[in-house]
Amino acid sequence: MPLTAGIVGLPNVGKSTLFNAITKSQVEAANYPFATIQPNVGVVEVPDHRLDRLSELFHPKKTIYTTFEFTDIAGLVKGASKGEGLGNQFLSNIRLTDAICHVVRCFDDADITHVEGSVDPIRDIEIINLELIMADLQTIENRLGKIERKAMTNKDKDALHEVATLKKLQEAFEAGKPARSVELDEDELAMLKAFSLLTLKPMIYVANMSEEEISDPQANVYYQRVKELADSEHNQVVAVCARIEEELSSLEPEEKKVFLNDLGIAESGLDRVIKAAYNILDLCTFLTAGEDECRAWTFRKGMLAPQCAGVIHTDFEKGFIRAECYKFEDIDALESEQAIKEAGKLRLEGKDYVVQDGDVLHFRFNV
């Protein structure tokens, strides 16, 4: 299942503009026949200069980037956890996401009315966070109502452990703190997985600012406040201009480069959001290269070679023999697999090898 970030935000903060840019930039369905793209889902390619370089060297028939999904989460407004707006309709969508991208308004514009009457990104963040906390509190209290009496009566060890963990979270939620702020061990996190708690998901703040200010976000006072808050929460913040992203989404790659250079911006905001999502979810990329296809594949940091083989096909994992492996940096410098072999840079790795970001792999397997 592809990894997904849910995009949330109050009305008139630029969420819809940013999502329009994402859906315009999304992949061609023909290249990804297994991706069912829903109207509220945008599937975008993850930019990777290493894959571009491999394509230059191998001249493959196809180049396939790895992908990331963004889901537009509608209905998240003040009072949503109590049934305001679209009420709890947003919950089922947001629970399925791996991370949350919270778009906050960091620009002044008299022509665009803010739902709260003024621009204050910290207040907006607190409104959304409170709705997520209240939804999680309801989940925890529902579970406690079912299990607490049984745990106390039967003195069941697992049930008592669950109650203790849920009580710890209940206390945090009642104090207005997210689940991310609670110290939880591996057993507690494993037990909580079934609840899909919203405030346990990693958060990226997307600071939407004006076209004039995007080239120097640090000069924007609103951005500074969001950055300070994000740092205190160990979350990430990415500065974007949703209007520029919408313009970029209709341009060809070369036109995009020229447009960004003219603005004095190194890379698009959408690319930075994708990279931040990768980073916050501990994701990496391994590569496969050949005359037929050069391709990037997503895996979680710490995965072993057979597990990464399984990312390509389950048969590869079942019948794994070994992986032929070299670093991207080596082929970038030496420019051919023959030169890699002659320089002694090609390695044979077994079942215990921990795959690294940027490894170029060829799996040997027997089914």
DSSP secondary structure code for residue 301 in this structure: T
The reply, when asked if residue 298 is annotated as ligand binding, is no
DSSP secondary structure code for residue 29 in this structure: G
- β-pair partners for 323: 349, 363
CB 325 within 8 A of CB 361: yes
349-367 as b/e, with b when 16 or more CB fall inside 10 Å?
Answer: beeebebeeebbbebebee
State phi, psi for 344 to the nearest 5 degrees.
70, 25
Which two tokens mark 317?
Answer: 């994992």
The reply, when asked if residue 16 is annotated as ligand binding, is yes
The reply, when asked if residue 6 is annotated as ligand binding, is no
Strand 236-240, strand 283-288: pairing: unpaired
What contacts 33, CB < 8 A, 6 or more positions away? none
The reply, when asked if residue 67 is annotated as ligand binding, is no
The reply, when asked if residue 14 is annotated as ligand binding, is yes
Cα distance between residue 245 and residue 70, in whole Å: 15
The reply, when asked if residue 142 is annotated as ligand binding, is no
> Long-range contacts for 12-17 (Cβ within 8 Å, ≥24 apart)?
12/105, 12/112, 12/113, 12/114, 12/115, 13/103, 13/104, 13/105, 13/114, 13/124, 13/208, 14/103, 14/105, 14/208, 14/242, 14/243, 15/72, 15/103, 15/242, 16/72, 17/242, 17/243, 17/245, 17/246
Return the SS3 of 176.
coil
Instruction: List binding-site positions for ATP.
Output: 12-17
Instruction: List binding-site positions.
Output: 12-17
